[in-house]
């Protein structure tokens, strides 16, 4: 969730805002625990509010809104705030200025652009609804869509397809409100004063949402960062995309199946932040109960493999998967002593955890061109504890997964 100013919320933020009473309870609970809420510190810093009571006051008055994470699953179809009364572009002006004496024309003009590059998206599929009639097509060479209507005041809605690194995704045309964002306008006379609706399609955000939706359908709902109370990321995160590899990790010493997954994710994040990372290094974590947690945003480059993170998605299993004798330390000595007394000290990934991992790998393969699956230590030039990760037991699992998926090991790159 995120705390924002009520002055300029997006349509998606308005749609997913908590009721004031509920927002107030959540904010108070976080303040009492000293826990951060995304967006709160920047708002406090701007207004120089040192007291928690001032934060509560602004939430209670509606000056600040608490927004659910769903508002940021995607930005496809959101009217771009930077658009002015008109776009002085030749093609647009042609559409809006009929020749003298021509009959008046009505409708809506949309310009479809990339959320990231702000460049027009050419040939992008769309589906529109005008006067109860469905119209399908593609944006033209300037990223424009003109939807004519018989008069002004006619409701017009449009959905624009998004693209994953693999392909256009037809799921945007589904009736599911979880995966569709519809831009709606009322038609007007097309003249020099007509507003052009600029639609910023965020392919990367929509791809992230596709992964979450696919996992949900598979029966493994991804716990997003707010649910495990992740700390806010540092500024300047390096973007990551076009992934082709997956690195499997184990959490290592001190982690086991008896702990709560959310606590383990927080512990891993704190460990990484303490080592100078911008955020938790893994993109996803999976506990022994099969709960999947979102770590670092998939749109950001990971930090799970030393000097080898470009194009790599990091997944961590939240336990220690080494075997006795594998690591020469005092914990290994303790385990050896316990095994003398016939006590089993080996962790084996439970069936639910493996099922969740398989579902996640499949969800990632649906949107990225994944070719390689490797254990952390299989990637080049790993040192220290990285040479043992994900443990011998973890490597046995990696080998089984490679056989079942047909993915390659890192050494063939």
pLDDT digit string (tens) for 160-173? Answer: 888 889 875 554 43
Residues 225 and 106 in one domain: no
The reply to whether 122 and 173 lie within a common domain is yes
3-class DSSP state of 135: strand
55 and 86 fall within a common domain: no
- Tell me if 264 is assigned to some domain: yes
The answer to whether residue 312 scores a pLDDT higher than 90 is: yes
In the predicted structure, residue 378 carries a pLDDT above the cut 70: yes
Has residue 334 got a pLDDT over 80?
A: no
Residue where a domain terminates, one of 45, 72, 99: 72
CA distances in angstroms from 100 to 7, 97, 104, listed in the order given: 42, 9, 10
Q: Are residues 241 and 154 in the same domain?
A: no
Q: Which residue has the higher pLDDT, 105 or 214?
A: 214
pLDDT score of 93: 63
Same domain assignment for residues 380 and 246: yes
User: Whole domain around residue 43: which residue ranges?
Assistant: 2-72
Q: Kindly state whether residues 402 and 351 are assigned to the same domain.
A: yes
Same domain, 279 and 176: no
Is residue 9 within 8 A of residue 65, CB to CB? The reply is yes
pLDDT at position 99:
63
Is residue 169, in this structure, part of any structural domain at all?
yes
Closest CA to 362 of 204, 176, 217: 217
**CATH number, position 95:** 2.60.40.10
Burial track 359-392 (b if 16+ CB lie within 10 A, e otherwise): bbbebbbebbebbbbbbbbbbeebeeebebbbbe
pLDDT tens digits for 109-154? Answer: 888 888 888 889 999 999 999 988 999 999 999 899 999 999 988 9
Looking at the DSSP bridge assignments, the partners of residue 112 are 199
Q: What CATH number is attached to the domain comprising 388?
A: 3.40.80.10
Residues 6+ apart with CB under 8 A from 312: 243, 245, 246, 247, 302, 304, 305, 379
- Choosing from 44, 72, 100, the residue where a domain stops is 72
Give the percent of the chain with pLDDT over 90: 43
- The contacts of residue 301 (CB under 8 Å, 6+ apart) are 237, 238, 239, 240, 309, 310
- Asked, for residue 289, whether it belongs to a domain, the answer is yes
Give the separation between CA 392 and CA 378, rounded to whole angstroms: 12
pLDDT confidence tier of residue 311, bands split at 50, 70 and 90: very high
- Residue 207 domain-assigned (yes or no): no
Residue 315 near residue 265, CB atoms below 8 Å:
no
Q: Judge whether 211 and 364 are in contact, CB under 8 Å.
A: yes
pLDDT tens track for 189-199: 887 666 678 88
Q: 44 and 93 share a domain? A: no
Are residues 343 and 402 located together in one domain of the fold? yes
pLDDT band, very low/low/confident/very high, at 73 (cuts 50, 70, 90):
low
Domain-embedded: residue 331 = yes
Same domain? 223 vs 364: yes
Beta strands in 6-104 (DSSP E): 64-67, 78-79
Where a domain ends, among 151, 170, 202? Answer: 202
Taking residues 232-246, what's their average pLDDT? Answer: 88
Q: Classify residue 174: in a domain, yes or no.
A: yes
Q: Please, what is the average pLDDT of the chain?
A: 83
Q: Between the ranges 88-97, 234-243, 373-382, 383-392, where is the mean pLDDT highest?
A: 373-382
Q: Closest Cα to residue 312, out of 325, 299, 302, 327?
A: 302
Strands 2-5 and 106-114: unpaired
User: Do residue 68 and residue 89 come from a single domain?
Assistant: no
Total number of domains in the chain: 3
Question: Residue 281: inside a domain, yes or no?
Answer: yes
The pLDDT of residue 290: 97
Residue 211 lies in a domain: no
pLDDT of 82 higher than 60: no
State residue 178's pLDDT score. Answer: 35
User: 224 and 303, same structural domain?
Assistant: yes
């Amino acid at each position: 969730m995120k705390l924002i100013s009520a002055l300029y919320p997006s349509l998606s933020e308005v749609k997913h805002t908590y009721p004031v009473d509920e927002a107030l309870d959540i904010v108070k609970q976080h303040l009492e625990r000293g826990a951060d809420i995304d967006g709160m510190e920047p708002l406090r810093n701007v207004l120089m509010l040192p007291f928690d009571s001032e934060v509560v006051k602004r939430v209670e008055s509606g000056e600040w809104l608490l927004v659910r994470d769903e508002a940021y699953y995607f930005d496809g179809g959101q009217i771009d705030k930077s658009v002015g009364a008109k776009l002085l572009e030749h093609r647009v002006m042609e559409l809006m200025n009929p020749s003298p004496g021509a009959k008046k024309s009505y409708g809506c003009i949309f310009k479809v652009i990339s959320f990231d590059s702000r460049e027009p998206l050419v040939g992008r599929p769309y589906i529109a609804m005008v006067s109860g009639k469905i119209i399908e097509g593609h944006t033209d060479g300037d990223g424009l869509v003109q939807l004519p209507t018989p008069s002004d005041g006619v409701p017009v809605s449009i959905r624009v397809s998004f693209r994953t690194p693999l392909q256009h995704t037809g799921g945007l045309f589904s009736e599911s409100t979880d995966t569709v964002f519809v831009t709606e306008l009322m038609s007007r006379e097309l003249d020099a004063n007509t507003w052009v609706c600029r639609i910023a399609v965020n392919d990367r955000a929509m791809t992230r949402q596709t992964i979450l939706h696919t996992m949900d359908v598979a029966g493994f709902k991804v716990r997003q960062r707010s649910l495990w109370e992740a700390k806010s990321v540092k500024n300047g995160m390096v973007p990551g995309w076009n992934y082709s590899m997956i690195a499997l990790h184990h959490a290592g010493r001190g982690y086991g199946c008896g702990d709560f997954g959310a606590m383990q994710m927080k512990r891993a994040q704190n460990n990484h932040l303490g080592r100078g990372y911008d955020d938790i290094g893994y993109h996803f974590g999976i506990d022994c109960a099969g709960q999947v947690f979102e770590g670092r945003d998939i749109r950001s480059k990971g930090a799970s493999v030393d000097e080898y993170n470009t194009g790599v998605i990091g997944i961590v299993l939240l336990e220690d998967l080494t075997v006795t004798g594998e690591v020469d330390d005092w914990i290994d000595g303790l385990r050896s002593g316990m095994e003398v007394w016939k006590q089993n000290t080996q962790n084996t990934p439970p069936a639910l955890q493996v099922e969740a991992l398989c579902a996640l790998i499949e969800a990632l393969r649906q949107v990225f061109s994944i070719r390689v699956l490797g254990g952390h230590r299989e990637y080049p030039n790993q040192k220290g504890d990285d040479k043992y990760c994900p443990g011998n037991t973890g490597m046995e699992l990696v080998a089984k997964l490679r056989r079942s998926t047909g993915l390659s090991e890192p050494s063939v790159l």
